[in-house]
Every structure is written in C-alpha cells, then in structure tokens.
Chains A and B, each alone.
Chain A
Amino acid sequence: MVSLAAVSASPALTVSGLGKSYGDVRAVDDLSFHVEPGEVFALLGPNGAGKSTTVEILEGHRSRDAGTVEVLGHDPGTAPGGFRDRIGIVLQEVGVERELTVREALVHYGACYSRRRPVDEVLELVGLDGLGDRRTHRLSGGQKRRIDLALGIIGDPDLLFLDEPTTGFDPSARRQAWEMVDGLRSLGTTIVLTSHYMDEVQALADRVLVIANGRAVAAGTPDELRGSMDRETAIRARFPMDREGTVTGLLEGLAGRSTVRDGRLDVRTEDPTADLHRLTGWALERGVALDDLEVVRPTLEDVYLDLVGGEPGEGTDG
C-alpha cells in the first residue's frame, strides 16, 4: 500500500504529536505532518496560530513539550551544531550589518557553511544583481528582504524555512517574491513556509496545513481545500436582531450549516435551491424583510476564515 514516491526517498521532515505550552497557553497542540523532498509545504494560519513557534522548534531554536520531530534525519532539539549546515532559515525581523556591502555580507555568512552557492548566482536568483557593491543600509525595504533570502540560500540548503516571506510587502513586491520561491522550487529545494495569506499559499505551496490556536484544522493541496468548499454556496441576509429567538426552527429545517451573528444570517449549503426556498418561504409567511439577501460562491478567503474561526481583518490584510 506504499506508493513508489514514498519509498524512493525518506521525508525531509516529520512531525508527530508536537506540543508546546507557554504557561497555561497551548501554543502548539498535537500537530502532525511531514514534508517530502522537493516539496513546498505551507503552514497557514492567522497571527498567533502557532506557526512561528512550530517553525522555531523545527529549526532547533525552541524546545518542545511533547511529540517527536525529525528534520533531515536529526532531532533538532539534540542535533549537533552541524545540523544547521544543511538548512537555510529566513526569519522575520533579522538585520544585516549596515557597514558591509551586499557581496561582503554574502561572503561573510557563506563562510560558515560547508557548501556555498556562488555569490553572483545567488544575487541573480534573488534579483539583487548589480547591487553587490552597495552598502546594505542603502537598500530599500524590499531589497533588504531579498538579502534575507539570499543569506538563507547561500549555504545551498537541502531544506529552506521561510517565515512569512512577504509580510509587509506591496502587491508587486509579493509577486516578485513568489517568483523567487518558484525559482528555488525548480532547483529542487525543499521549502517550508509560513503565511497568513491564503492567496500566497495557493500560488506557492504543493501542500498546506491550516492551523488555528495551535491545532490543525485542515490539510491537503490548495486544490483540495478549494474543492471542499466548491460544493458549498453561501446564502446571506440581514436578520432583525429580535427575531433570533424565533429562528431556531427555521435554521434546523435548512440542509446547510447556518449561523446568526451580529444580526447577519450566513448559511453554507450544498443544496442552495431548496434552502433558499425554505428561507424565503419562512420570511414571506411572517412578513420578515430579508435585507441584503445574496446567494454567492464563497471565496478562498471565506473558507479560510471559516476554518480558523477568525474575524475579517485578522490575518486577511493582504
């Protein structure tokens, strides 16, 4: 029952039952996943979901409370110092010496790896060609993020971690960053990225794990995630607040899942014709006006928000 692909190479990374608490808060709760060589794997979730904590545990920067982790055949918690030689890490909020030129920074950081990509090749890969002799403090914000990526791949890593690679980017800079990641993928680099942008994950990832409050809430390819919601249609309307007590019977009569929040009714159904008929019939009978009534296909963003139980604006600022 084992597929050929799974036999041919062991996973680059395996996580099983991972847990981590800060005091009473369970930041990561029973996460399990694996990443195959050459794959782009995404951890998707809103701020505070536990993405960075998970990645920091994988990098060996943070201890765990429960579970087993294997990264390139090592437990990052006890791996020898040379473990980081084979992984590249692009963190958030890192700096580079302003006194150095771009090229000097690449040579300097490259010196501590056993393998090195040629500096000019890296500059071209991240789109900094022609800027090698510029002091790093004279680069723009987007160019500085490119240095972060360049320094992440200067050691020719087998596995690359990208922690929110495009947070704070404008749309065109994000597209360019996506192209860079695509370029790395075509070179065969295994990539684990975190993001709170659904569209980013859709554009880049082969597989996705959606997490919220430290727990896995969905997993699959972006198409599978899209497929699970493609079957559903959303029916929405403004609902008079004082009617909430009287709608229980109606809601139970609908085929789909429904919620009433802040005076708005939201029905997700695979049978929109029937449910719309029941809803409007109920409203006509009682003389209730269903203001702003709409029947729509949910966007990817809607599905994502459904999954993580978040409010609009949280993690959707892209």
Chain B
Amino acid sequence: MADRLPSPLRLLVHQIGYQNRVFRRVPIAAFFTLAFPLMFLLLFAAIFGDVGISGGHEVAAAQFYAPGLAVFTAASATYTNIGISTAVARDEGILRRVRSTPLPRWVYLGGVVGSGVCIAVFGVALMLTVGIGIYGVDADAGRLLPAVVAFVVGTASFAMLGLALAALAPSGQSSPALAQATILPMAFVSDVFISVGDDPARWLEVVGDVLPLKAFVESFFAAFDPYRTGSAWEPELLVRMGLWGVFGAVVAARRFRWEPSTGSSSGPRGDRSRRHQGRSVPS
C-alpha cells in the first residue's frame, strides 16, 4: 500500500491553522487578548499625554506604555489563552478524543503553542502599529534584533507556563480565574500599567524582579527606552525568563492530563454531558 502517514511538520502546520481558526471563532477570547490591552493604551495616552524627560525633551506617554502593553498582549496570547483553552478542551473531552487518533501528542501541543505565538505576533504588531502610527512612538531599527529575541524567549516561556497552568487547573471552569488571578497582579508589579518606582515598598520591586513578566517587559522595552544609550541587549533578563519557561515545561511534562477530571461533567459547556446520562460507574 502506498498509504503513508502525513509528515509531522505538515500536521503541525495544520494544527496551528486549526487552533487559530478556533480562536477566531471565540469573540470573547479575541476581545480580552487583543482589544483589551489596546483599550489601555488609548486610555493611558489620553490621560497622560506627553511627558517630559531629561534634557527638556517631551515624549508621548505611549512611548512607555505601548511596549509594556505589547508584552502584556503576548503574555495573554500565550499564558492566559493556552492555559484556559487547553483546560476547557480537556474538560470537554477533546483532548481525550485527540489521544485516540494517530496524531502525535507533541504535535497537538505544538499546535497549541504555535497558535499562541501567532496570536502574540499579531497582537504585538497591532499594538506597535497603533503606538507608532498614532502616538509617534519612536522605534530604533538598530534595536530591532534585541526586541525580537526578547519576544521569542518571552512568548516561548509564557507558552510553557500556559501549558503548566492547564496542567494544574482542576477544571476548565476554574482556569480563567486562575489565569487572571496570576497574570493581573503580576502585571501590576511588572511595570505594565504603572511604573513601580523607588517610592513604594521595596518588596513590590523584589516580587516583580523574581516573577517572569517584568523581565519580559524590561528586556523588550530596552529597545524603546528613550533614556537608554548603547546596547539594548539584556542577557540576564532573558536567562531569568528562560528559566521560568523551563520550570513551566517541567511542570507541564509531569502533571499534564489528557483525561477530564472525574465527575467534572458540569464544565462551562455542560450541555455536552447530556448524552451521557444513564452512565454511572465507569467500567
């Protein structure tokens, strides 16, 4: 027989396209991932306008906010989006079905991660386009490479943390709360919405330095920092992010489940369980 299994690479491309299609058809996910951070940029730009910097220059507040919010978008597209959608897919028995097909498991998870990265690329491009096009954010082409590397390391790490979140979430229903309860406070100590300067308690700064989001924001922002002279590379921050990524990958590898948690048929889309009435004990 000439039948041959489709190549893993082709399957991976197919899986990424399919995950992207599913994402596009969930308007609420698209709104919170893409439109929500953009709304913050419009608000902050309207509230703060231009700010003075040393030497009597003035730059748009968006110069500080757009890169930070771009990173927040990338983290939402990977960590939040992957964590929630994968935990929900498990509760709905979709992962259980995937496991019964010849699709290699790593290809499925690769599709999930690849799709998260695609959405992150789109979100960051959108944010920077608005920032540069409307608010005149200054981007130095010579610093493009450090920003791209920071983006790659950051999205990869947050994608792994998203898989870890899916692995640890007890149910699909609880995953959005878990995701928001971790990413939002982290954003507040990571210079996304506000800059934690020297005034507030030192512990806030320490917490931010330990967690991965601030490293992502700072290493990416380095390419846009109007105060900065010289190189925009931040190797130490990249390593810190990467270590979090490794931690996420280890947690996901050890704890990831493909079966719905028993007795959780009352997921957010509980209508699916209707056809299973009459079955009490698994045999």
Seen from chain A, the residues whose Cβ lies within 8 Å of a Cβ on chain B are: 45-53, 59, 61, 81-85, 89, 91-100, 104, 108-109, 111-115, 137, 141-142, 144-145, 151, 155, 164, 167-168, 194, 196, 317
Q: Main secondary structure on chain A at its contact with chain B?
A: loop
Q: Contact at A95–B102, with CB atoms within 8 Å? A: no
Q: How far is the CB of A285 from chain B (nearest CB, A)?
A: 47
Q: A92-B279, A142-B275 provided; 12 other pairs, C-beta below 8 A?
A: A45-B283, A51-B283, A53-B283, A82-B102, A93-B96, A94-B97, A95-B89, A95-B92, A97-B89, A145-B275, A155-B102, A167-B276
Taking a contact as CB atoms under 8 Å apart, the answer to whether A52 and B275 are in contact is no
Report the separation of the CA atoms of residues A45 and B282 in the bound assembly, to the nearest whole angstrom.
Answer: 12
Q: A144 and B14: CB pair below 8 A?
A: no
Stretch at the interface among B17-25, B114-122, B221-229, B237-245: B17-25
Determine the chain A residues whose CB is within 8 A of the CB of B283 once the complex forms. 45-53, 194, 196
Interface residue ranges of B1-45 to A (CB < 8 Å): 3-6, 11, 14, 18, 21-22, 25-26
B134 at the binding interface (Cβ < 8 Å): no
Q: Among B101, B102, B276, B278, point to the contact of A93 (Cβ < 8 A).
A: B276
| Main secondary structure on B side of the interface with A | loop
- B29 → A minimal CB distance (Å): 10
15 A-B residue pairs with Cβ-Cβ distance under 8 Å, sorted by A, are: A45-B283, A48-B283, A49-B283, A81-B104, A91-B96, A95-B96, A99-B21, A109-B97, A111-B11, A113-B102, A115-B3, A141-B275, A155-B101, A167-B276, A167-B279
Determine the chain B residues whose CB is within 8 A of the CB of A145 once the complex forms. 275
Nearest A residue to B26 by beta-carbon distance? Answer: A99
Q: Is B260 in contact with A93, judged by CB distance below 8 angstroms? A: yes
| A47-B280, A48-B283, A95-B272 as given contacts; A112 in contact with B260, CB under 8 Å | no
- Distance A98 CA – B272 CA, assembled complex (angstroms): 10
Residue of A nearest to B108 (CB): A112
Q: Nearest-CB distance from A100 to chain B (Å)?
A: 7
B255 an interface residue at 8 Å Cβ cutoff? no
* A161: nearest chain-B partner, CB-CB: B100
CB B283 to nearest CB in A, in angstroms, measures 5
Asked if residues A97 and B22 are in contact (CB atoms below 8 Å), the reply is yes
Inter-chain CA distance A113–B6, complex, in Å, is 7
With contact pairs A94-B94, A95-B92, A164-B279 given, residues A84 and B100 touching in the complex (Cβ less than 8 Å): yes
Q: How far is the CA of A113 from the CA of B100 in the complex (A)?
A: 12
**C-alpha gap A193/B276 in the complex (Å):** 17
- Contact A98-B269, Cβ < 8 Å, known A81-B104, A93-B260, A111-B14: yes
CA gap between A145 and B5 in the complex, in Å: 27
Look across to chain B and name the residue whose beta carbon is closest to the beta carbon of A82. Answer: B5
Residues on A with beta carbons closer than 8 Å to the beta carbon of B5 = 82, 85, 114
Contact between A114 and B275, CB atoms less than 8 A apart? no
Asked if B22 and A99 make an inter-chain contact with CB atoms under 8 angstroms apart, the answer reads: yes
With both chains docked as a complex, state the minimum distance between the C-beta of A314 and any C-beta of chain B, in angstroms. Answer: 10
> Which residues of chain A come closer than 8 Å to B278, judged between CB atoms?
167-168, 317
Interface check B231, CB cutoff 8 A: no
The CB with the most chain A CB atoms within 10 A, among B11, B18, B103, B275, is that of B275
Q: Which B residues have a C-beta under 8 Å from some C-beta of A?
A: 3-6, 11, 14, 18, 21-22, 25-26, 89, 92-94, 96-97, 99-104, 260, 265, 269, 271-283
With contacts A94-B93, A144-B272 taken as known, whether A84 is within 8 angstroms of B102 at the C-beta atoms is yes
Distance of A53 Cα from B283 Cα, bound (Å): 7
Q: Quote the shortest CB–CB distance from A168 to chain B (angstroms).
A: 4
| Chain A residues, Cβ within 8 Å of B273 | 93
Roughly how many angstroms separate A111 CA and B21 CA in the complex, as a whole number?
15
- A99 & B97 in contact (Cβ 8 Å cutoff): no
Interchain CB contact under 8 A, A89 and B100: yes
Q: How far is the CB of A130 from chain B (nearest CB, A)?
A: 21
Please determine whether A168 and B100 come into contact, CB atoms closer than 8 angstroms. Answer: no
Give, as a whole number of angstroms, the nearest-CB distance from B48 to chain A: 39
Collect the chain A residues with CB atoms within 8 Å of residue B97's CB: 91, 94-96, 109, 151
A240–chain B nearest beta-carbon distance, Å = 35
In the assembled complex, the Cα of A47 lies from the Cα of B282 at a distance in Å of 7
Q: Which residue of B lies closest to A51 (CB)?
A: B283
The CA of A59 and the CA of B102, in the complex, are separated in Å by 11
Residues of A within 8 A of B6 (CB): 111-114
Identity of the chain B residue whose Cβ is nearest the Cβ of A168 in the assembled complex: B278
B96: which A residues are within 8 A, CB to CB?
Answer: 91, 93-95
When distances are taken between beta carbons in the complex, the residues of chain A under 8 Å from B272 are 95, 144
Q: Give Cα A94 to B279, complex, Å.
A: 14
| CB contact under 8 A between A168 and B275, given known A45-B283, A82-B5, A95-B93 | yes
A residues in contact with B104, CB < 8 Å: 81
Q: A52-B282, A93-B260, A95-B93 are in contact. Are A109 and B276 (CB under 8 A)?
A: no
Write out the residue numbers on chain B whose beta carbons fall within 8 Å of the beta carbon of A144: 272, 275
A232 to B55, CA, bound (A): 105
Determine the chain B residues whose CB is within 8 A of the CB of A81 once the complex forms: 102, 104
- A-side contacts of B94, CB under 8 Å: 94-97
CB distance from A145 to the nearest CB of B (A): 6
* A145-B272 Cα distance, complex, nearest whole Å: 10
Measured between alpha carbons, how far is A292 from B279 in the docked complex, in Å? Answer: 34
Q: Which residue of B lies closest to A54 (CB)?
A: B283
Q: Which of A53, A104, A109, A112 has the most CB of B within 10 A?
A: A112
